[in-house]
Chain A
């Protein structure tokens, strides 16, 4: 088991922030913002944090 954990650690540490990842992130933020224009949705920053956390884990 500890060996498996180490392997996971190595895989997860190798997450690289690519241009593609950033572009996809921006697209999601724009959708959120557009949506909020019409629904007065609150907590956008929390939702952005949630997206960032899903993308990098």
Chain B
């Protein structure tokens, strides 16, 4: 979507017919609209929304018709308010026009949705379903990411906005189609399973039914696990924030730092314990049988030895070796072996004791096995003892660390008074909750593992399952088809989501760190826009200012716009259905930024999107901002506000100097309305 023109006709404070040329070029992609508070910046932003979707989010939203026109009407008479938007999308030109007929009823502007007309022309031809066409180009869901108020955009960088970030990513990149598809497929499969149940002869069961019930339980567990992990992370962040606060309290600083160190130590000890337990389990599952069977092996060895002594088993001398000596006529010690001599006779007697080669080999293998088993069994016991000793040492260390931590906590409680005592008590309950959540998470993980393995067994049963009832077989195959599609779609969905999140995160990080020095912003796996700082080589979430949140939010939106454009140009719109070109239209882009950040971000405004429309007030338009933006500005407009109360404006808000020319922003008048002036 590339905006070309907006025309306002008696819309809110815009009297008569007024227009803004929004056309930009690749080199000059910024339009700046100057206006003071109340002049109509937000109204223009809302005019886009009203024209495209019929929705308006302003005070007295019923009052769409310009007041001057409305006042001139006699009671019961009507007049029209209209917004026309011209834009281009995928080489097609669209002309969107929305008009409302407003009737005067005393002081009330009366109109209903039926009084609205909405027309969309594509390359000059009226299209039959205009709302669908607009939704295809930019759905209502997506609009909020491209038309926004810069002063409020910082909320995106708060953890509670993770759903909005996730939805933005999924909708713009078209991944939500998979999410919805999976949901509908599961519902369809359930209905098909119920149909199958009805046709299965009584007394018989189908593995598909069981699969369905396990799958439902598994899905439920996965959702609960995800929610608990997210909840735990939130609590960990909350804990960290409180810890930072406590560290800033002089009398608690030392204890807090000590507590942090002890916690780190305890965490590492617990990690070592987990690894040790894993090592122990691995060893037991691999070699425990050797220890258990060592008595048996020993018994077997004694038995074999006895047989060998009695000459019932090979003596250990190979039959082939004796035959070779006799044939060669010489012993390995050099003695000649002559037929009939005592040495040869002895060799013949040994030959008599040997058995067939296969038996001999079998015996040698068995003998080697029993001897190895005995050694391995001993080794196993030795290793296990070592692990147990290590475990005992670790347990003692863990107990000691826990004790020390409890002491530190106690000391802190004794020192703390008033608000710091409250903070400590709050943190204590958060820590308890974190422990509970850790246990819950562990339990869900084991349950998922168990259900996964049950599902695997059911899948094997399904692959071997056969029925001779044709009707049942067809019903089962339909379920199999749905299940197959669910597996594949889930896999694709996970991969796409992760890939898009990582790509966007990288872009957000690049943009953010180029503006805010010393900090970084990323999209974490919970889809939170997270601002971090390097502390002792570790990336840690940090307290943020509104300005930093605003920069992170802008970086996120810009990353979305740019990735959607890149994928559209790379021909990937068939996979990512939301890929395309989007403009950014923002009111107060430098909303809550301080002078330094405002000047810094103004250097990047032109790179935020292929087309940027920015509404600014005089307080945001500094010499530095003007200098940074000037090379990229295609057109500039002034919203000249005619009003009866000039006194409410400071002198600095009444006019603006652009390119050495002074323009009035506020003009004394009996009526209240706004004129749009183009700066030459």
Residues of A within 8 A of B (CB): 9, 12-13, 15, 17, 19, 21-23, 25-26, 29-30, 32-34, 36-39, 44-46, 48-49, 52-53, 55-57
**Pair count A-B, CB < 8 A:** 80
Contact, CB under 8 Å: A52 / B488 = no
Contact, CB under 8 Å: B478 / A38 = no
User: Given the complex of chains A and B, what is the CA–CA distance between A52 and B484 in angstroms?
Assistant: 12
Q: Is the interface of B mostly helix, strand, loop or mixed?
A: helix
User: Given the complex of chains A and B, what is the CA–CA distance between A38 and B136 in angstroms?
Assistant: 6
16 CB contacts below 8 A, A to B, read A12-B470, A22-B488, A26-B485, A29-B489, A30-B178, A33-B180, A34-B177, A37-B139, A39-B129, A45-B188, A52-B188, A52-B478, A52-B481, A53-B478, A55-B478, A56-B474
Task: State whether the Cβ of B187 lies closer than 8 Å to any Cβ in chain A.
Answer: yes
User: Given the complex of chains A and B, what is the CA–CA distance between A12 and B480 in angstroms?
Assistant: 15
Interface string of B128-154 (1 = CB under 8 A from A): 010010011001000000000000000
Contact size class for B? Answer: 20 to 34
Task: State whether the Cβ of B347 lies closer than 8 Å to any Cβ in chain A.
Answer: no
With A26-B489, A37-B135, A45-B187 known to touch, is A57 a contact of B181 (CB < 8 Å)? no
Report the nearest B residue to A36, measured CB to CB. B180
Least CB distance from A16 to B in Å reads 8
Contact, CB under 8 Å: A33 / B181 = yes
Q: Which of B185, B474, B482 contacts A57 (CB 8 A)?
A: B474
Least CB distance from B492 to A in Å reads 8
Task: State whether the Cβ of B254 lies closer than 8 Å to any Cβ in chain A.
Answer: no
User: Given the complex of chains A and B, what is the CA–CA distance between A13 and B135 in angstroms?
Assistant: 44
Contact, CB under 8 Å: B474 / A15 = yes
Q: Is the interface of A mostly helix, strand, loop or mixed?
A: helix
Least CB distance from B177 to A in Å reads 5
Contact, CB under 8 Å: A17 / B187 = no
A-side contacts of B477, CB under 8 Å? 15, 17, 56
A-side contacts of B192, CB under 8 Å? 49, 52
Report the nearest B residue to A48, measured CB to CB. B188
Q: Which of B181, B188, B191, B474 contacts A30 (CB 8 A)?
A: B181
> Nearest 4 pairs between A and B by C-beta?
A48-B188, A22-B484, A45-B187, A45-B188
User: Given the complex of chains A and B, what is the CA–CA distance between A22 and B187 in angstroms?
Assistant: 17
Contact, CB under 8 Å: A38 / B188 = no
With A39-B132, A57-B474 known to touch, is A17 a contact of B484 (CB < 8 Å)? yes
Contact, CB under 8 Å: A13 / B132 = no
Contact, CB under 8 Å: B474 / A38 = no
Contact, CB under 8 Å: B577 / A22 = no
Task: State whether the Cβ of B420 lies closer than 8 Å to any Cβ in chain A.
Answer: no
Least CB distance from B197 to A in Å reads 15
Least CB distance from A6 to B in Å reads 10
Contact, CB under 8 Å: A9 / B187 = no
A-side contacts of B577, CB under 8 Å? 34
B-side contacts of A32, CB under 8 Å? 181
Least CB distance from A3 to B in Å reads 15
Task: State whether the Cβ of B294 lies closer than 8 Å to any Cβ in chain A.
Answer: no
- Which residues B435-493 have CB closer than 8 A to chain A? 470, 473-474, 477-478, 480-482, 484-485, 488-489
Name 7 extra pairs, CB < 8 A, besides A15-B477, A37-B136.
A9-B470, A21-B481, A26-B488, A30-B181, A32-B181, A34-B174, A44-B184
User: Given the complex of chains A and B, what is the CA–CA distance between A46 and B136 in angstroms?
Assistant: 24
Report the nearest A residue to B577, measured CB to CB. A34
Interface string of B154-191 (1 = CB under 8 A from A): 00000000000000000000100110110011011001
User: Given the complex of chains A and B, what is the CA–CA distance between A5 and B139 in angstroms?
Assistant: 52
Which of B129, B132, B484, B577 has the largest number of chain A CB atoms within 10 A?
Answer: B484
Contact, CB under 8 Å: B188 / A17 = no
A-side contacts of B185, CB under 8 Å? 29, 45, 48
Contact, CB under 8 Å: A17 / B184 = no
A-side contacts of B474, CB under 8 Å? 12, 15, 56-57
With A44-B184, A56-B478 known to touch, is A22 a contact of B473 (CB < 8 Å)? no
B-side contacts of A57, CB under 8 Å? 474
Least CB distance from A55 to B in Å reads 6
Contact, CB under 8 Å: B181 / A29 = yes
Q: Which of B139, B481, B488 contacts A56 (CB 8 A)?
A: B481
A-side contacts of B187, CB under 8 Å? 45
User: Given the complex of chains A and B, what is the CA–CA distance between A30 and B474 in angstroms?
Assistant: 24
B-side contacts of A52, CB under 8 Å? 188, 192, 478, 481-482
User: Given the complex of chains A and B, what is the CA–CA distance between A7 and B86 in angstroms?
Assistant: 63
A-side contacts of B180, CB under 8 Å? 33, 36, 44
Q: Which of B191, B480, B488 contacts A23 (CB 8 A)?
A: B488
B-side contacts of A9, CB under 8 Å? 470
Contact, CB under 8 Å: B484 / A49 = no
Contact, CB under 8 Å: B135 / A22 = no
User: Given the complex of chains A and B, what is the CA–CA distance between A25 and B136 in angstroms?
Assistant: 23
- Which residues B13-67 have CB closer than 8 A to chain A? none
Least CB distance from B564 to A in Å reads 16
- Which residues B330-383 have CB closer than 8 A to chain A? none
Least CB distance from B137 to A in Å reads 10
